[in-house]
Amino acid sequence: MIDPVVNIFQNGFSLISRIVIAAASAAFGGLMLVIAPDADHSIGAYGIAASVFLIPMACLTTGRVREFALSVLGVQTLSIMLWYVGTQIETPDGRRDPMTMKVIAAIFAFGIPAYQYAFRKRFGFHPVESPATTTRTTGCATNQ
């Protein structure tokens, strides 16, 4: 049971699953673009559509484009969670939403690792290593 999970973490999702995720998120993004002009807060709908269109970009590309899309999604995720917690701390009536503790837990589970990914990958703008300076390890022990 653990082997498929380890395989996904090491190698990523299969092509078919990435295509399904990309198609579903692109359809949702298209739906947001269709309903945005009629919405009361159309700028928010356009923002959600732009965010959702980053998911197919992350699913169907490789290299720096994928790193950029995932980094933007990661920082956006953490920012939204922190904004929500900030709005719940300062409520005028003194009551707090029970979801606040769950969001704080989500910040530690998802937000901080997403933030770390974004800045470790430098939003895809890291310097490219030349093949001459890159060292490869095979993972095999060598006989001395």
Give the model's confidence band at 103: pLDDT under 50 very low, under 70 low, under 90 confident, else very high: confident
Does pLDDT of 138 surpass 70? Answer: no
- Give the start-to-end residue ranges of the domains of the chain: 1-60, 64-125
The answer to whether 81 and 103 are in contact (CB under 8 A) is yes
> Tell me: the pLDDT tens digits for 51-100?
999 999 999 998 889 889 989 998 998 998 888 888 777 666 666 677 88
Give the model's confidence band at 2: pLDDT under 50 very low, under 70 low, under 90 confident, else very high: low
Average pLDDT, the chain: 81
Q: What is the pLDDT of residue 134?
A: 52
Give the model's confidence band at 142: pLDDT under 50 very low, under 70 low, under 90 confident, else very high: very low
Core vs surface per residue 70-83: b (16+ CB within 10 A) or e: bbbbbbbbbeebee
Q: Considering only 32-46, 79-93, 130-144, which range has the smallest mean pLDDT?
A: 130-144
> Tell me: the pLDDT tens digits for 7-38?
766 677 888 999 999 999 999 999 989 988 88
